[in-house]
Structure 1
């Protein structure tokens, strides 16, 4: 009898086993819930919606101020005094070195890049006009301006890439004009001049 009691005490109780497994499952589910409640932060991820990206760049480390003007098929124009027009947005108005200081860890650092960017978040059928305007000159020298128009969707496609020279302050030149058809195709890429800047801006 004593021998039977000793052997029975060494056997595992089914109730204890069930309780232990239930506790283990509860702990696992609790940890999974915590993970879903606090997902890891995705820092530095930018997901801009854009169909077309237009960039204009001129020599770095200069005080010259060149402006980008873009007109959509409905005649709406985006420029430094009107940074949003329809589906177009001027992402940055670069005034040469005047606004090229950025704050990093409490210290001002110069950003030498002179660049303006316009994003078009949805295209309408019709003609788009992209102009450059020489707003302010730090010297009397002409400025070479590089303009690139890239279509992002449905695949990456360079619509236009070229350089034009702005000889003096107040000079406005058409970098490119292109037409979007109803089926989304881009045709009639040309550089025929069309003024977009009002007289007071010239």
Structure 2
């Protein structure tokens, strides 16, 4: 007489085992595919194709037109009639309320932002001069204009940030000047005045 009863063998179907393993494999591959399709978002990272960016802004909803003028190391100029010269680009020309109305899905949308953007897509040695010009006034009032100069490559670095008040239509002011050394370093940031619109000293 046996002391222990032998265990009964479980009748395992090899086909069921194969299906179970296939299901596990499919689930694993599906999860990997989801991870690859939805990578972790990197917020706050901007990679503009530029070395420096100049932003000129004035109060939202203002109908007044402020223009940005930039002179490069060799005397080349960019402004709204010549938006590109060498490595300097006027990426956005803002005319106050002109062209601020857009039709989207049958609805009129107003963009209140008044802003012009200039990018410098290299580091040529020499001095850059950034001027602001009160091109046209509809309010006939003084207007504060903020100029923001930033080095964006390899990391963002604010070089200059200041607000200048233009008192009347036609007034021009030098907002900032800076120089780039042959080694690519920024030096001599100042606001020594020079006219670019009319030529000569302001």
- Shorter chain as normaliser: what TM range? 0.7 to 0.9
Deviation, 1:138, is 0.9
Q: What is the correspondence of 1:59-98 to structure 2 with a 5 Å cutoff? A: 59-98=59-98
C-alpha separation between the residues in 2 aligned to 1:139 and 1:107?
28
**TM-score when normalising by structure 1:** 0.75
Any gaps of 5 or more consecutive residues in structure 1? 1-45
- 2:104 corresponds in structure 1 to 104
C-alpha separation between the residues in 2 aligned to 1:79 and 1:188?
23
Deviation, 1:48, is 3.5
Gap change, CA 1:83 and 1:183, over 3 Å in 2: same
C-alpha separation between the residues in 2 aligned to 1:48 and 1:186?
19
Any gaps of 5 or more consecutive residues in structure 2? 1-45
Per-residue Cα deviation, 1:33-89 (whole angstroms, up to 9, x for no partner): xxxxxxxxxxxxx95411000000001111100001111101111100001011111
- 2:26 corresponds in structure 1 to none
Deviation, 1:180, is 0.4
Deviation, 1:156, is 1.3
Could you say what the CA RMSD is over the residues aligned between the two structures, in angstroms? 3.2
Deviation, 1:102, is 2.3
- 2:187 corresponds in structure 1 to 187
**TM-score when normalising by structure 2:** 0.75
- 1:158 corresponds in structure 2 to 158
Deviation, 1:153, is 1.0
Secondary structure of 1:196 counterpart:
coil
**Would you identify which runs of 4 or more consecutive aligned residues in structure 1 move more than 2 Å?**
none
1:170 counterpart = 2:170: yes
- Tell me the matched-pair count: 189
From the two aligned structures, give the one with the greater helix fraction.
Answer: 1
- 1:113 corresponds in structure 2 to 113
- 2:19 corresponds in structure 1 to none
